[in-house]
């Protein structure tokens, strides 16, 4: 289990370019490095997901989608009623829980 926060590409770009962080206080995956290579100047390490990590991510996303809920990676989420709200992309428990 991770003991540090994992940032996606948009969050890292926000921290570095808009909030002037010199070091990102967490981890990034190799996907973020591929999407934005300058991140290597701002992180202390890169995580490399395993095949089982990808399989688990797909399994969780399929379960969330079957429940009619999506977890946006960033930005506003349109709930379908014209109301936009921010959702925590890490809140799988709420998305997977029963109504």
Of the CA atoms within 13 Å of residue 76, those in its CB half-sphere come to 7
How high is the pLDDT of residue 16?
Answer: 96
Low-confidence stretches of the chain (pLDDT beneath 70): 1-3, 69-99
How high is the pLDDT of residue 31?
Answer: 94
Q: Rounded distance, CA 10 to CA 4, Å?
A: 18
Nearest to 68 by CA among 91, 93, 95: 95
How high is the pLDDT of residue 40?
Answer: 96
What's the pTM?
A: 0.60
How high is the pLDDT of residue 48?
Answer: 95
How high is the pLDDT of residue 76?
Answer: 44
How high is the pLDDT of residue 5?
Answer: 86
């Amino acid at each position: 289990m991770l003991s540090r926060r994992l940032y996606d590409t948009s969050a890292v770009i926000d921290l570095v370019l808009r909030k002037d962080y010199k070091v990102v206080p967490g981890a990034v995956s190799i996907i973020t490095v591929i999407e934005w290579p300058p991140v290597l100047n701002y992180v202390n390490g890169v995580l490399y997901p395993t095949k089982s990590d990808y399989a688990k991510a797909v399994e969780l996303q399929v379960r969330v989608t079957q429940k009619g809920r999506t977890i946006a990676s960033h930005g506003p989420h349109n709930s379908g009623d014209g109301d936009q709200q921010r959702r925590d992309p890490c809140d799988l428990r709420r998305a997977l829980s029963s109504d």
